[in-house]
Amino acid sequence: MANGRIRARIRRSHLYTFSCLRPNVQESEEGSSLPDGPGFSRVVHCNQPVVQKKRPLQYPNNHISTTKYNALTFLPKALFEQFRRAANIYFLLAAMLSLTSISPFSAVSMISPLSIVVGLTMAKEAVEDWNRFIQDRKVNHRKVNGHKEGGVFSYKAWQDVRVGDVVKVEKDQFFPADLLLLSSSYDDGICYVETMNLDGETNLKVKRSLEVTLPLDDDATFKDFTGLIKCEDPNPNLYTFVGNLEYDRQIYPLDPSQILLRDSKLRNTAYVYGVVIFTGHDTKVMQNSTESPSKRSTVERKMDSIIYILFSVLVLISVISSVGFAVKTRYAMPHQWYLQPYDPSNTLYNPKKPALSGLFHLVTALILYGYLIPISLYVSIEFVKFLQAKFINRDKDMYDEESGTFAEARTSNLNEELGMVDTILSDKTGTLTCNQMDFLKCSIAGTAYGTCNSEVEIAAAKQIAMDLEEQNSDVSGIQPMENHSGLGANEIELETVVTYKDERAHKRAIKGFSFEDNRLIDGKWLQEPNSEQILLFFRILSVCHTAVPEFNQVTGGFTYEAESPDEAAFLVAARELGFEFCKRTQSSVVVREKYPSWGRPVEREYKVLNLLDFTSKRKRMSVIVRDEDGQILLLSKGADSIIFDRLSKNGKVYLDATTKHLNEYGDAGLRTLALAYKKLEESEYNAWNNEFQKAKSSIGGDREGMLERASDMMEKDLVLVGATAVEDKLQPGVPQCIDKLAQAGLKIWVLTGDKMETAINIGFACSLLRQGMKQICISTTNLEESAQDSKEAVKENILMQITNASQMVKLEKDPNAAFALIIDGKSLTYALENDMKQQFLNLAVDCASVICCRVSPKQKALVTRLVKEGTGKTTLAIGDGANDVGMIQEADIGVGISGAEGMQAVMASDFSIAQFRFLEKLLLVHGHWCYKRIAQMICYFFYKNIAFGLTLFYFEAFAGFSGQSIYDDWYSLSFNVILTSLPVISLGVFEQDVSSDFPALYQQGPKNLFFDWLRIFGWMGNGVYTSVVIFFLNIIIFCDQAFRAGGQTADMSVVGTVMFTCVIWAVNCQIALTMSHFTWIQHALIWGSIAMWYLFLFLYGSVSPTISGDAYQLLVQSLAPAPIFWATTLLVTLTCNMPYFAHISFQRYLRPLDHHIIQEIKYYKKDVEDEFMWSREMSKARQKTKIGFTARVEAKMRQLKARLQKKQSGTSYQSPTFRTYVHE
């Protein structure tokens, strides 16, 4: 415990919590026997290692491995992964055939590029897996204190822990395996556990041992300890455990409250002893460690289709070549006297068997034209995406100073998908809001307290003031005195709102407490007429919880480890109002009450008899306590709908007033809970407690149901005391970010567990909703009043609401009308059924905003799947908690926020950021750029390979389909690997068009403008044109004229080298024309690649002729001295690139895209010289939207224009603001 300690040696043994109850001892094995059959076969001999090592009791050791490979399996598994790609299989077969006589290339030239590409990819896999191995090694070599023998403990590595071992885990250490808790530093055998690594929850959970094992609280007590555990087999369920412990000839049932799971952490407890039940991959955390779903980007899937098209072209031209060769062999070869004599045994050139010769030539052609398939494309894309991810990870604009966290691309496979998002599905709490709760208001005994205003109220007041100011300025010349008093009243109201905000800024900041009301501060509540109810309200806040106090020696006060931020805010509020929770033992809670005693504070101890925990299903928690006067009280807090249903007739005195206040708090965007209590008689409590203990002690499938029924029996006939209202603040920059995303044309859905009123008001605060929007509320509220309504009737009603709403949207004639769809979780259950989900989706797509309230984690995932599959467009899900994991994994892109709800969402995500506002930069800048870069890079890759590969086909046809390559093998080898690889990488890494000041440009991604089939086939056509120009111009130039001054004609090596030089120049000049953004890096790589070709040709021609062959001294002696070589290079390069240059010139002058205009403005510095034009162009470069602050301003401008028109026509103005609920 930070700056403090817990008194651990206080014996309390009567706290029976809903989730952590000490069961009764079973006197016989019959009452606690495990279910028969598979699934319950584990037997653990405690502290008996010799017995446990014998079969069949020898279970896996505690060594864990998350690696994909090991030393033995790396080579076969990695090779298998590489050759799952169809392109790699093709190149492997080609490399194998290059060892035969039918190959047109040498074996080295075919095997080398494949080895380089596959080797680099395998090296990347090895590095990533090595990092996982290092992490596993660190975990496996962690130390834990384990029992050796004779009561002696010593440290050993986690991987050496075995089933049945007794271990001692100390404070702030992780549990090395799944343990049965035997005892702790508390005499009551409790301990506090943090399970953030398991379920993402930061709250502490209470675990407790069996009473029979409490004496095992010292090392020496384990000298003779033995026991037998029979329990369930390994399974992934974190929240269930069935088993029993046989100890001292008694059998005791076990449940999850005694189980300490691996990777959870011991907190606020000095030490615990436990016996190991599950080890290694049998532990529950490892049973849950499933791989994230495999996600592939839209561009990558489309790239596969292009590969198949090119492969089809490859097969087609190979068949053409094969048929041509067969015809030549049959009819021309017998008359070609200069060829080798006829040899019947030579099947490759047999005029008597032309079909067989043609079949062999088909294989030759498939190898020869293989350069149509870019072998280095995959490795180049992976390298580019890796560098793109590095830029994302180090972007200072996405660095959160408060947490010291950068954005992180957890996978680089989806970089370009960030630029193609159509719909964003967002969590609210912790994503749009801070998950930092401030106690702001409360209602006690029908009286509202709290004068401070929420951020939603302040934003609304400021907006009202702006509207009134504009209205006043608009009508001041016509009716200067009209509504003057009303305006003044509103100004006073606004001034009050803002003044309180300013006063709070000057007061001492108390985290979790922003409450102001002189009626309750400094004990003045004692003068209130309902002081007894106020006292009870404060006591419920300070007693009804599961938090743990920590004394801070610096501040001299207590801080709280609570299950949720809401609960911590309640305790801080109680502390500031004079009721300080200061100590917790296993069976009591101590509250230091400053009032009603006017003297020194009095510490009051409340005996905790039972604690019924909060769960998402129960939506409430209760604690049963005995006060110092012996009175037994049930104190409850929970969702208002749950608490109100459980009130007695006499407990509804304040119901109407409290309901009114709760609605007001919901309108202000606050989170609310209702507080209630009940006094219990001793006999009533004892009778219920006996039933509850029976339910807790039972072992069977209906155990949870029995516990739920027992708790329901107690939590009824309550008396309402009041309600709390806490504010979950918006994260900084959320409204501005949403506005920019809306201007980019993105649709934003909010999926939240909050109630409808709260979600609506948060929607207004972040500009997802605005005045003038027509709200379509799909709800079952009206139906719940009638218990006779069947499921089918409810479903029909929901369908009718959706149908009516869809009809209303279709009949709307106002082009500026905006609709917002708001639906609750119960209605969503029906809306997501197969026969209704398409109608629901159609309605939602037609609405500007969609807010789903009271949704479960499963519903979040189902909604995400519906949008993804129903629209066929890219979805992005963003959240921060464990309840968001489902939708994060279901979406095309998952973004996790590293917030206050643990790292579960981050661990499941593809990208992580610290604040929602960083989503703007991630999508509109990095996403947009990555999409354009990858799309242009792939198109260019196919272009250059088509331009190069088809020249081989033309020459083979020119040479009688002989299978001869015009290029030297080393030229072909260096083409993709050396001479054209670096420029295309620079395109994929450094290319950019404009900044995020022009959000509408983002729509180029969702519309797929740079990777549609028209553009892809355009690039392919450009490649075909380039290949035709390169081949035929060179043939025409060199075929019938002298090449050198001495009259010598060009041979095949000269023509091939000149042709290859033209290819290098043409494709590198093409990429220079493609780029919009140049730095010295792009210049160095493009022109350096061309220079590298000449350097390569010089060095290659300088080596021995046995290696260089016909290329020996070719550049120095033949090409460089010949002017025709340089002239041909220049002519061919210009001719190849002229059509593309003409195309982009025509496009920029006559049909420019948005980014062309902006680039030209910036180039000529018109953004500085002509600010009016620059502002006009910036306003044009925004997608028309109906949500966001900009839409709110535009709606207001339309209202003002309408008002002016009506004023001029003499008609009175009526506000167009209205709200529509679609119910039956």
- Number of other CB atoms surrounding residue 438 within 10 Å: 25
Catalytic residue among 217, 282, 422, 427: 427
Say how far apart CA 28 and CA 40 lie, in whole Å: 19
Say how far apart CA 1037 and CA 1123 lie, in whole Å: 13
In sequence order, which residues have a C-beta less than 8 Å from that of residue 30 and are 6 or more positions away? none
Phi-psi group of 433: left, alpha or beta (phi > 0 → left; psi -120 to 50 → alpha; rest → beta)? beta
3-state helix, strand, coil in the chain (%, to 5): 50, 15, 35
Task: Identify which of 950, 1200, 948 has the alpha carbon closest to the alpha carbon of residue 1093.
Answer: 948
Tokens of 610: 């039972």
Task: Identify which of 171, 243, 259 has the alpha carbon closest to the alpha carbon of residue 207.
Answer: 259
Say how far apart CA 837 and CA 856 lie, in whole Å: 17
Task: Identify which of 1070, 1184, 1091 has the alpha carbon closest to the alpha carbon of residue 1137.
Answer: 1070
Tell me which residue has tokens 């004639």: 813
Say how far apart CA 922 and CA 900 lie, in whole Å: 21
* Strand order through the sheet with 42-46: 42-46, 227-231, 243-247, 250-254
Say how far apart CA 967 and CA 962 lie, in whole Å: 14
In sequence order, which residues have a C-beta less than 8 Å from that of residue 674 and are 6 or more positions away? 637, 638, 639, 640, 643, 644, 658, 662, 720, 722, 723
- Long-range CB pairs of 1210-1218 (<8 Å, 24+ gap) are 1216/772, 1217/771, 1217/772, 1218/774
- Number of other CB atoms surrounding residue 109 within 10 Å: 21
Contact call for residues 570 and 635 (beta carbons, < 8 A): no
Residue 717 annotated among the catalytic residues of the structure: no
Task: Identify which of 371, 342, 293, 303 has the alpha carbon closest to the alpha carbon of residue 90.
Answer: 371
Contact call for residues 1195 and 1187 (beta carbons, < 8 A): no
Task: Identify which of 960, 978, 956 has the alpha carbon closest to the alpha carbon of residue 109.
Answer: 978
> Angle, to 10 degrees, between the axis of helix 107-140 and the axis of helix 377-393?
40
Pairing of strands 874-879, 893-897: parallel
Give the SS3 label for residue 604.
strand
Give the SS3 label for residue 283.
coil
Pairing of strands 747-751, 421-426: parallel
Contact call for residues 921 and 397 (beta carbons, < 8 A): yes
Phi-psi group of 1008: left, alpha or beta (phi > 0 → left; psi -120 to 50 → alpha; rest → beta)? left
Q: E strand or H helix at 574, and its extent?
A: helix 565-576
Give the SS3 label for residue 755.
coil
Render 957-985 in DSSP notation, one character per residue.
HHTTS----SS-HHHHHHIIIIITHHHHH
13 burial level (CB within 10 Å; 0-12, 13-18, 19+) = middle
Say how far apart CA 1191 and CA 1184 lie, in whole Å: 8
Say how far apart CA 729 and CA 725 lie, in whole Å: 13
In sequence order, which residues have a C-beta less than 8 Å from that of residue 672 and are 6 or more positions away? 640, 662, 665, 666, 723, 724, 725, 726, 758
The residues annotated with a catalytic role in the active site are 427
